[in-house]
Every structure is written in structure tokens, then in C-alpha cells.
Amino acid sequence: MSHILHLDSSPRGSRSTSRALTKEFVTSWLQRHPGDRVTYRDVGQYPVSPIDEAWIAASFSKSEDLAPNLIDALRISDELIDELWVADRYVFGVPMYNFSVPANFKAYIDQIVRVNRTFTQDWRGLVTNKKILIITTRGGSYSNDASSKQLDFQEPYLRTVFGFIGVTDITFIHAENLTMGDEARARSLTTAQTAIQSLTATW
């Protein structure tokens, strides 16, 4: 029995394609695995705070030395990291913004990449034996064309940052060409939905 952390990062509501695709995956997964548990986190419409000076001071201090204000500075970080630890599979929806990730998702990353919680001082990842599926939505195509692939700072960044904290079993489903006309959009969504259905049987 698995515990899934389902996270959406698009600030759009019902009009969000990435939200629709992560929901489709989780719904299909639960149909196959009805006993599994899901924790849902929405950092798109309910963003977490970016790290600040108090957060940095607290994260590099010994826990027994923390003053009340520094304990409070790490409260959301502790909550988010605890969610990571208790789940063994992650399903994240991440739209591409300006060739990378949305600012609210970057704030989430900064909250969970924390020394002595998700990685050690000698840069060893602690969040091991986990799987992550990242479903991205993109206006153009960056997966196959060499000239445009160099503009993709999304997948390489996500592979690097999650690998850094120990999550190396990473699967991507890219829904691309979503602003390239109705035909291209429909074809891309069909491809992504086919990949979703296939993955629910093998992941």
C-alpha cells in the first residue's frame, strides 16, 4: 500500500491543464490501488512563503538552540518536509514558466531542500527510496528538437534538485505544444493521457 503526495503548482484553477492531468493520474491510480492514501498540497493557489533571513538563521542552527521566533520560521518547512517523508510516491504538476518552474514552486523547493533534514552537510541526499512523477505543461516543444531543448531549464533543474535530496527515480510526462493551435494541443494532450494510463499500470 502506497502513500502518495499529490501536489499542484499552477496558480490557475479549473482552467489549469497540469491540474487536470495530475488529477487524471491520481484518479486512475486509486482505481487500481483503492487502498492507497493521498495527501494533497496546492502551492499554486495557496503558495508557501519564500525563505527569509530568519529561516536561514534557523536552518543553520542547532535545533536545541532555536529561539521561539526561529522555531516559527521553520514551521512550514517542517510541515512540508514531514509530508515528503511519510509519502513514498510523489505526483507533481509543474507548468513551464519562462523556460523553468513557477515562482511559487521554487518557493516550495527552497522550503524542502534543507540541510540536516533532506540532505547532509556533505551533500548526501536523505530522501531515498521514493518515486516521483512530474507532469509538466508547456506552450512549445522542448523534448526532441535540439535547438529548443537548450531552452529547457525545467526538467534539468527538477532532476538536479530532487536528485540532490535523494529522489532519483524520476518520471516525466510532458504535455507540450499547448499554445501551438488546437490540433497540436489535442495531439499532445492525447499523448500525455495515454502515457498516464500506461504508467498507472507499471509505476
Give the CATH number of the domain where residue 49 resides. Answer: 3.40.50.360
What range does the domain containing 72 cover? 3-202
pTM above the 0.85 mark?
yes
Q: Which residues pair with 132 in a beta bridge?
A: 90, 170
> Using one digit for the tens of pLDDT, what is the confidence trace for 15-42?
999 999 999 999 999 999 999 999 999 9
Q: What is the pLDDT averaged over residues 41-70?
A: 94
% pLDDT > 90, the chain:
94
User: Is residue 30 packed enough to be buried (19+ CB in 10 Å), middle (13-18) or exposed (0-12)?
Assistant: middle
Angstrom distance (rounded) from CA 26 to CA 24:
6
Domains identified in the chain, total number: 1
The number of C-alpha atoms within 13 Å of 45 and in the hemisphere containing its C-beta is: 10
> Using one digit for the tens of pLDDT, what is the confidence trace for 116-153?
999 999 999 999 999 999 999 999 999 877 778 899 99
